[in-house]
Amino acid sequence: MYPKLVPWLIAATLCVTLTGICSSSALNTTSAADRIASLPGQPQVTFHQYAGYVAVDEEQQRALFYYFAEAEGNPAEKPLVLWLNGGPGCSSVGVGAFCEHGPFKPSGDVLLKNDYSWNKEANMLYLETPAGVGFSYSVNTSYYKSVDDKMTAIDNLAFLRNWFEKFPEYKERDLFITGESYAGHYVPQLALLIVQSKLFNLKGIAIGNPLLEFNTDFNSRADFFWSHGLISDATYESFNTICNYSQIRRQSQSGPLTPVCSRVASESSREISKFIDTYDVTLDVCLSTVSSQSAVLNKLQETEKIDVCVEDEALKYLNRKEVQEALHARLVGISTWTVCSEVVRYEYQNLEIPTITILGELVKSGIHVLVYSGDQDSAIPLLGSRTLVNNLAKQLGLNTTVPYRVWFEQRQVAGWTQVYGDILSYATIRGASHEAPYSSPERSLVLFSSFLGGRPLPEGLLSESAVEKHS
């Protein structure tokens, strides 16, 4: 039913389990040294925070940086959630933790409390991966010259193995892996390694606006732009008959665009204009401020640098010396921390590896899978994601257990959802961007809470305390 899975996914399990990559002999195997006393400008909180390094290859001196915020209440009773941002090559700490759903958001010299932090529902672990992203590093810099999905998945599994040595109390905890954008590759590939190695208590994965299948995801952009009035009928026709988005993306990776594709791309760019943020077509350009990871994924020949606001605050904050000291972080081989890596050369051919097939393997293994879409994102539009999930359900022979319907946050429609076989789910977040928890924090928290609790998304009007009742 499915194409044969990439051989390295199976081989990597043995590699990580049987070789020295799993060794943690040089690590501080207790979490005490990584405890954060307080972050500069932070409001007072009751939960514990940790940050530091976990070695994933001692011979090559490669280590990944993490930030961990325990749950606000009853952390011992709540699951562990790993979050991965995409890119490939963008920071889960800078974007996920400090711009989206971490406990704080930087504002000038201080940190503001995030009322919709995901650590209200879970113990949140943010990982900067692969090495060369954020504070993560490889002393052997030849590693940066060609990084791919295989290397990233193996290191991510090694990270978890060794992180649990620091935090043994979480070893048997329910584990969920979440992420967005190019984490549509990172998350399923790591999850499959975990399933095959039988290492942890993995319960489910959730991925937002994920890259799952190159042609379907990229070619759905034309439909999205046209249906939202951003391109003309003539340009839409050009995408359907002359040169589509997957061709443009593929050509941009290997060299200049052909004259025909260049003409189509230029005309669509002119019509859309540089004053529309394609990662949320309804927001003013400065408001969708965590778009660097999307820009890496979306990089075309004519792409201009995206102006950002909140992301700039995170950039300034994480480059302060006292902040880096509080986080136990250091700059190795770089002079400044950046949101998306300027040293990693990722193998962009990996974008064409379909991961929708891996979602099928996870479902067959009993792992709950949620794919969700901010419905105003044109980078990875809902049209492609919804089609891929629906087709997967048909291939797996899963019956619809929750028919396509609206779901609510407080007293408003928050999006649409459909569930297949009580194990595979799709949902949209109404009005949300590519980075849904950033632009729609309340609705994203309701979706996250329901996913962790194994509950259907709310199908009626909610009271304002609905989320708190499930905490």
Active-site amino acid positions: 181, 377, 434
DSSP one-letter string for 442-455: HHHHHHHHHHHHTP
The span from the first CA to the last CA of the chain, in angstroms, equals: 40
Which of 119, 35, 48 minimizes the C-alpha distance to 83?
A: 119
Q: In Å, how far are 17, 201, 365 from 198, measured between CA atoms?
A: 10, 8, 11
Q: Are 337 and 135 in contact (CB under 8 A)?
A: yes
DSSP one-letter string for 169-197: GGTTS-EEEEEETTHHHHHHHHHHHHHHH
Q: Which residues of 301-339 are buried (b: 16+ CB within 10 A; e: fewer)?
A: eeeeebebebbebbbebbeeeebbebbbbeebeeeebbb
- What are the backbone angles phi and psi of residue 413, rounded to the nearest 5°? -65, 125
Rounded CA gap, 150 and 251, in Å? Answer: 23
DSSP code of residue 124: E
Q: Are 146 and 347 in contact (CB under 8 A)?
A: yes
Beta-bridge mates of residue 130: none
By CB neighbour count within 10 A (0-12 exposed, 13-18 middle, 19+ buried), where does 297 fall?
buried
Rounded CA gap, 309 and 318, in Å? Answer: 15
Quick one: CA torsion of 75, 76, 78, 81, rounded to 10 degrees? 80
Rounded CA gap, 47 and 119, in Å? Answer: 9
DSSP code of residue 19: S
Residue 91, token pair as written in the block: 């920071």
Rounded CA gap, 250 and 352, in Å? Answer: 9
Q: Are 307 and 107 in contact (CB under 8 A)?
A: no
Residue 291, token pair as written in the block: 């778009």
